[in-house]
């Protein structure tokens, strides 16, 4: 399993310390933003990969879950 990001660690700390609603909401938003950025970066990388693959290679990559 991957190491938690700083935002995920901050959220866990907020949960463990019974942080206020505002602190929890802020920590949750940071995690959501970070995940959205990672998802966008993954999508862009998949598109770049797709550009250099043959149709057969793309089909194999899709089957393996490397691209969507």
> What pTM was computed for the model?
0.79
Is 47 domain-assigned? yes
Is 24 domain-assigned? yes
Is 16 domain-assigned? yes
> Which residue range(s) make up the domain with 13?
6-64
Is 14 domain-assigned? yes
Higher per-residue confidence, 24 vs 2? 24
Alpha-carbon gap, residue 26 to 62, rounded angstroms: 36
What would the pLDDT profile of 23-45 be if each residue is shown by its tens digit?
999 999 999 999 999 999 999 99
For tokens 């933003």, name the residue.
33
Is 1 domain-assigned? no
Q: How many domains does the chain have?
A: 1
């Amino acid at each position: 399993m991957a190491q938690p990001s700083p935002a995920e660690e901050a959220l866990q700390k907020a949960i463990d310390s019974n942080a206020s609603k505002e602190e929890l909401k802020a920590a949750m938003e940071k995690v959501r933003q970070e995940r959205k950025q990672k998802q966008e970066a993954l999508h862009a990388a998949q598109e770049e990969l797709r550009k250099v693959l043959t149709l057969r290679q793309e089909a194999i990559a899709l089957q393996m879950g490397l691209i969507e």
